Amino acid sequence: MAARRYDPGRRDRLVDAAVRVVAERGIDGLTHRAVAAAADVPLGSTTYHFTDRDALLLAALERINDAWLEDFAGRLAALDPAVPLPEHLGRYIADCLGPRREETELAYELYFAGLRLPAVRPLAARCLDRMAELVAPLVPDRDTARALVAACDGLIIQLLLTGRPYDPARAGAILARLLPGTGSPPAPATR
């Protein structure tokens, strides 16, 4: 029997490979075999570290959540106090729909998997809860923080699904309605 090769970073490489596989092939393309090939490891490595496909999917979503939350926390930590929070959040949405669109689409594809895979739901909820926790110190109360996160989430989803152009001024005005007194003008009326 051959000695097992010591490879402490293998699990992390497998998770990175799972993220790449989902990005390239979608959730339906996520298999132990595809991940093993993408990570250039034997198939047995994936089944050793991840008992089933759902475990691979959860590990990929957790990796994406961690990166998403790190970026979001960094943005909030670097806020310019002279700029109203709705405007900052509008810039965040613009970034999600612009330079980070591929990453955003991947994150939402994994979240929507929770509609059919209940195991995904706690991770999605944890990410949204953490985003609200990060916003909470900047607003009057936790409900306002949750409303802002939900509004950002809803705007991103709608714009991803419809392909409509993003209007940062309109988004900022929508978000400002949740934070009276932020100095942003009301959104223009449309039909």
Within-domain flag for 181: no
End-to-end CA distance of the chain: 73
Within-domain flag for 107: yes
- Three-state secondary structure call for residue 31: coil
- Both 100 and 36 in one domain: the answer is no
- Both 127 and 82 in one domain: the answer is yes
Q: Give Cα 159 distance to the centre of its chain.
A: 15
How do residues 161-170 score in pLDDT, each as one tens digit?
999 999 998 9
Report the CATH number at residue 84. Answer: 1.10.357.10
Contacts of 145 (CB under 8 A, 6+ apart): 132, 133, 135, 136, 138, 139
Within-domain flag for 160: yes
pTM: 0.83
pLDDT at 113: 87
**Structural domain of 37:** 10-51
Domain count, the chain: 2
Cα–Cα distance measured from residue 175 to residue 89, given in angstroms and rounded to the nearest whole number: 8
Structural contact between residues 114 and 120, judged by C-beta atoms closer than 8 angstroms? yes
- Both 92 and 134 in one domain: the answer is yes
- Both 19 and 102 in one domain: the answer is no
- For residue 77, how many C-alpha atoms fall within 13 Å in the half-sphere facing its CB? 6
pLDDT at 184: 44
- Both 43 and 100 in one domain: the answer is no
pLDDT at 191: 42
pLDDT surpassing 70 at residue 50: yes
How do residues 88-140 score in pLDDT, each as one tens digit?
999 999 999 999 999 999 999 888 888 888 988 999 999 999 999 999 999 99
Within-domain flag for 145: yes
Percent of the chain with pLDDT over 70: 91
pLDDT at 182: 56
> What is the number of H-type helices and E-type strands within the chain?
9, 0
Q: Which amino acid is present at 93?
A: I
- Both 156 and 70 in one domain: the answer is yes
Within-domain flag for 5: no
Report the CATH number at residue 38. Answer: 1.10.10.60
- Both 17 and 69 in one domain: the answer is no
